[in-house]
Structure 1
Amino acid sequence: MSLVVRPARAADAGALAEIYAPSVLQRPTSFELRAPDAAEMAARLARVTAAWPWFVAEEGGAVLGYCYASAFAEREAYRWSVTTTAYVRDGHHRRGIGRALYGQLLDALRRQGAVRAFAGITMPNEGSVGLHRAMGFESVGLYPQAGFKLGRWWDVAWYGLALRDVAADEAPAEPVPWPQLAASGG
């Protein structure tokens, strides 16, 4: 069977919750402490995709991973910057799923007009660092002891990627909202 990367749908919410739960309940990769259920994941999907893309990777009808972008921060001047994240179902790591997802995501973000992508990675996490470096992200900073979970403090390393070059005084065009880009076949 071959891996298919496609835009996420509300019907994927249960699979998204299943994939995400181990990162919430068993690992420091998410700083949430209570795993969201399918209804909450559907609500998050709707909020995110009002502006930015969310993709799933499926094989044989089973969702094996997901990746999305969201606003980097709320202030208006940040509107060309996004935060990205990816999660792969336990037992399916190191199969190229993260790369396939990120490939689609970064392409969509460039077409939308985003300028910078950032990813926060709880350290240590060699797999996530390797994925982000393979996709062109570079280290841009570290938040020491940023979160307390599982009985200890965790650092968060930040990685950044220039999605397109802009001059220091260049005001880029407004980013194209994801629904508009997706509807146009972009």
Structure 2
Amino acid sequence: MRIRNADFDDAAAVAAIYGPIVEHTTISFELEVPSVDEMRSRIAKTLPALPWLVAEDEEGRVCGYVYAGKHRERAAYQWAVDTSAYVREDMRGQGIGRRLYEALLRRLAELGYYQAFAGIALPNAGSVGLHEAVGFKPLGVYRNVGFKKGAWHDVGWWQRELRPLDAPPSEPSKHLDG
């Protein structure tokens, strides 16, 4: 398996991984499956500032992805990110999510970020296990915050410190490898 920066040509593979999750589960709170063009747009908006990584299997096919996004808009939040990871259904349970997350968290620390957050629609034992395996700690739960597939769902929040806290911190670098 190889981990690399995503590019625009990965949009179809990313959409193919994410689409069934949106359509058939409550893991994502999106109600409509994003198109390939929408996924290309999301990659394009992310890469100038933050990492979006993909994993390729032995045949060069994208088998998972992970990315970071701005945590909140206010300037004082600039050292924090939200993270997401998805693995192709036939490749789950093989350590791909963990390797992707380890690469992402290392890159975020190098760029100058201090905190990473992950929101997980509950129940989702696989995602909880993945996040805790890479050092995320539970923070709390937004109860009944999303309505999908005829029911209300909770979202648990996890946090991981990326580097020791400095005061005052330097402004984070942009992700220039995108």
Task: Sort the TM-score into its range (normalised by shorter chain).
Answer: over 0.9
- Distance in 1, matches of 2:69 and 2:98, equals 18
- Distance in 2, matches of 1:17 and 1:171, equals 40
Partner in structure 2 of residue 130 of structure 1 = 129
- The structural deviation recorded for 1:139 is 0.3
5 Å matches for 1:103-122?
A: 103-122=102-121
Amino acid paired to 1:177: K
- The structural deviation recorded for 1:71 is 0.3
Unaligned runs of 5+ in 2: none
Partner in structure 2 of residue 20 of structure 1 = 18
Partner in structure 2 of residue 38 of structure 1 = 36
Partner in structure 1 of residue 52 of structure 2 = 54
- Identity within the alignment, %: 47
Is the counterpart of residue 173 in structure 1 residue 170 in structure 2?
Answer: yes
Q: TM-score with structure 2 length normalisation? A: 0.97
- Distance in 1, matches of 2:105 and 2:142, equals 24
- The structural deviation recorded for 1:38 is 1.0
- Distance in 1, matches of 2:151 and 2:87, equals 24
- The structural deviation recorded for 1:25 is 0.6
- Distance in 2, matches of 1:50 and 1:120, equals 23
- The structural deviation recorded for 1:61 is 1.1
- The structural deviation recorded for 1:37 is 1.0
List 4+ stretches of structure 1 deviating above 2 A.
Answer: none
- Distance in 1, matches of 2:122 and 2:168, equals 35
Aligned length: 177
Considering only aligned residues, what root-mean-square deviation do their CA atoms show, in Å?
Answer: 0.9
1:94-133: CA deviation from partner (whole Å, max 9, x where unpaired): 0111011001100100000000000000011100000000
Q: TM-score with structure 1 length normalisation? A: 0.93
